[in-house]
Structure 1
Amino acid sequence: MNRLPYRLLQGAIAGTAATVAMTATARQLARRLPARDRYPLPPREIIGALRGEGRSVADPGRDEAGLANATLIAHALFGAATGALFALQQRRGAGTGAAYGVTVWTASYFGWVPASGLLKPAHRHPLRRNLLMIAAHLVWGGTLALGLRQIEGSVAGELRRGTEALPDLH
């Protein structure tokens, strides 16, 4: 039986869950930035750029809820896709996951994002914002690796055997 589709699906699920942890981390850290550095975080900036909006565009008719939802969906899908790729690696511990998270940040914010013209490269953003993004990607990668391990363990164990193997939670 070809296990590749299952491995990719497990990685996508773990990547999506890790994106939730990453988003919570980024939101908390963004509150600590100096006021001048508190402009929208990159996922929102990217979706805004794709919609033809600049960061400084003030449009009272803009659908902020729609933009926020599009950002959330796009960010979760990107987390799922990169999580699926991580699941293909042989070494997948928390340290490897954290390093993978920083690699995704580097490839994105020094690579394809500025090359596409969506945002300026990371070195042209404030240092504190870059540190925030690196920390969020460390959390994402570590959570991805740990989540994937849990999913794989559940599939190999409790979910395969059935409910009789689940511990009593009372």
Structure 2
Amino acid sequence: MMRNVVNGAVGGALATAVYSAVLMAGDRAGLIREKPPRRVARTVMSGRSSRPVPGENIVGTIAHYAFGAGCGSVLGLLSAGQRLPAPIGAAYGLVVWYLGHQGLAPAVGAYPPASRDSRGRQAVLVAGHLVWGTSLAIALNRLRIEKMAVGTGQPARDVRRHRTPSPQPVHAF
């Protein structure tokens, strides 16, 4: 069970890196004026100020990866070490988007609920969370204990159960 939680945390952090790339693309396309982790950190640190706060970038980044790892841990625990289809990961990403952007961000005053926010920004955030969830499922599948046999799609045999025969001496003529 603990391995599933740790695998979920690692997978969540890796998926957050991929999600961050989607946010960067949305930022460069002009769809996101300010990245959510920074804005949430500023709001929490300063009591809803719109001015930059010293340390908000690093606090926002750390909090974002911690949140991604925490959400990944939950899916790792729920998966119980079983293989996850990518669509389950994508759906989980949408759940995380909904909770974060309809619940958490509006609750701390960082952003309005998704329904009253910019459509372009929300499109980037939804796409990012779909990518995050899919990346998380892929990472969890790669981190599972049971490995697949190369090229077969079948579980590999446990090498600890099967002994390799000892080498036999070669007899000369």
What TM-score results when the alignment is normalised by the length of structure 2? 0.77
Unaligned segments of structure 1, at least 5 residues: 163-170
* 1:79 corresponding residue in structure 2: 68
The residue correspondences of 1:72-151 to structure 2 (distance < 5 A) are: 72-90=61-79, 92-151=84-143
How far the C-alpha of 1:95 sits from its partner, in A, is 0.5
How far the C-alpha of 1:120 sits from its partner, in A, is 1.7
Contact conserved, 1:30 with 1:132, CA < 8 A, in 2? no
Aligned-partner Cα distance in 1 for 2:112–2:49: 12
Aligned-partner Cα distance in 2 for 1:5–1:101: 22
Aligned-partner Cα distance in 1 for 2:111–2:159: 48
Corresponding residue pairs, total: 148
Aligned-partner Cα distance in 1 for 2:56–2:77: 32
Unaligned segments of structure 2, at least 5 residues: 149-157, 161-173
How far the C-alpha of 1:161 sits from its partner, in A, is 6.5
| CA-to-aligned-CA distance 1:13-65 (integer Å, 9 cap, x gap) | 000000000001110122112xxx542121111001011165742x5xx43xx
1:50 pairs with 44, 49, 59, which one? 44
Instruction: Give SS of 1:89's match.
Output: helix
* 1:166 corresponding residue in structure 2: none
Instruction: Note the aligned Cα RMSD (angstroms).
Output: 2.3
* Larger RCO: 1 or 2 (CA < 8 Å, sep 6+): 1
1:9 pairs with 2, 6, 19, which one? 6
Aligned-partner Cα distance in 1 for 2:110–2:136: 26
Is 1:156 matched with 2:146? yes
Instruction: Give SS of 2:78's match.
Output: coil
Contact conserved, 2:43 with 2:108, CA < 8 A, in 1? no
1:68 pairs with 33, 36, 57, which one? 57
Instruction: Give SS of 1:76's match.
Output: helix
Aligned-partner Cα distance in 2 for 1:21–1:105: 15
Contact conserved, 1:45 with 1:55, CA < 8 A, in 2? no
Q: 1:31 to 1:54 in 2, by over 3 A?
A: farther
Kindly provide the amino acid, as one letter, of the partner of residue 46 in structure 1: V
Q: 1:73 to 1:145 in 2, by over 3 A?
A: same
Aligned-partner Cα distance in 2 for 1:161–1:13: 26
| CA-to-aligned-CA distance 1:86-142 (integer Å, 9 cap, x gap) | 113347211100111011101111123313434321122110000000000011000
Give the number of the structure whose alpha-carbon radius of gyration is greater.
2
Kindly provide the amino acid, as one letter, of the partner of residue 40 in structure 2: I
Kindly provide the amino acid, as one letter, of the partner of residue 41 in structure 1: K
